[in-house]
Amino acid sequence: MNDNPVFERIQREIDGQPVVLFMKGTPVFPQCGFSAAVVQALTLLGVQFKGVDVLADPQLREGVKAFSDWPTIPQLYVKSEFVGGCDIVREMYENGELRQVFADKGISTQEPAAA
Amino acid sequence: MSVAASMHAKLTDVFEPVHLAVVDESRLHAGHVGARPEGETHFRVEIVATAFDGISRVERQRMVYRVLKDELGDRVHALALRTLSPSENS
């Protein structure tokens, strides 16, 4: 499995930024409701992240599934660690765990002040 | 056998769940990428099983994905998952 050339590129992506989201489309124009839901959770928490559009590269799209042992997109990585897909991120956002993960890893969140 | 019935049967076999719901939500996604006119492309699965006791969320979903590998590789475009152990479901 490690001889897959795209794995090196994926490793570089997740090591290059604290928060990396492999998604369909871009953070501004998500091409899939599940990717959009994760973008929204990260945006609501005010977390800076890098979106990697897997639709731009079929090798990356299949490669990241093998790399993470996870068959679906989106996939969220924090500090090079796989956090989960849409269901998990959504649940962790709703119960406050996601914010805790960012806090524990020293990643700043800037939630909008309650109106 | 429908895709839903086959997923239900496989999950029942492997996990012996105390609760299992396989919901076809394809109609909600009509016209979206991955949807097909004949349906059975978008599912929601809720499964409660003792097999998930002490297992992380990520690993639970991997367990389910492995069992449904054939369906996910072929027909099913999207699968929303809720995996609980019985104590979490109370």
The reply to whether A111 falls in a domain is: no
What are A13-41's pLDDT values in tens digits?
Answer: 999 999 999 999 999 999 999 999 999 99
- What percent of chain A stands above pLDDT 70? 93
Q: Nearest CB to B62: which of A32, A70, A86?
A: A70
Interface pTM, i.e. ipTM: 0.84
The reply to whether A82 falls in a domain is: yes
Q: Could you give the number of structural domains in chain B?
A: 1
Spell out which residues of chain A touch residue B43, defining contact as CB-CB under 8 Å: none
Say whether residue B79 is in contact with chain A using an 8 A CB cutoff: yes
Query: Rounded to the nearest 5 degrees, what angle is found at the Cα of A7, between the Cα atoms of B80 and B68?
Result: 30
Q: What's the average model confidence in pLDDT over A56-84?
A: 96
Global confidence as pTM: 0.89
What range defines the domain where residue A78 resides?
Answer: 5-104
The reply to whether A44 falls in a domain is: yes
Distance, in Å, from the CA atom of B67 to the CA atom of B71, rounded to the nearest integer, reads 9
Indicate the pairing of strand B78-84 with strand B19-24: unpaired
Q: Positive or negative, the Cα torsion across B64, A36, B22, B40? A: negative
Check which CATH number belongs to the domain holding A87 and give it.
Answer: 3.40.30.10
Q: Nearest CB to B65: which of A31, A32, A71?
A: A71
Residue A74, pLDDT > 90, answer: yes
Q: Which residues pair with B22 in a beta bridge?
A: B45
**Chain A: closest CA distance from residue B82 (Å):** 7
Q: Could you give the number of structural domains in chain A?
A: 1
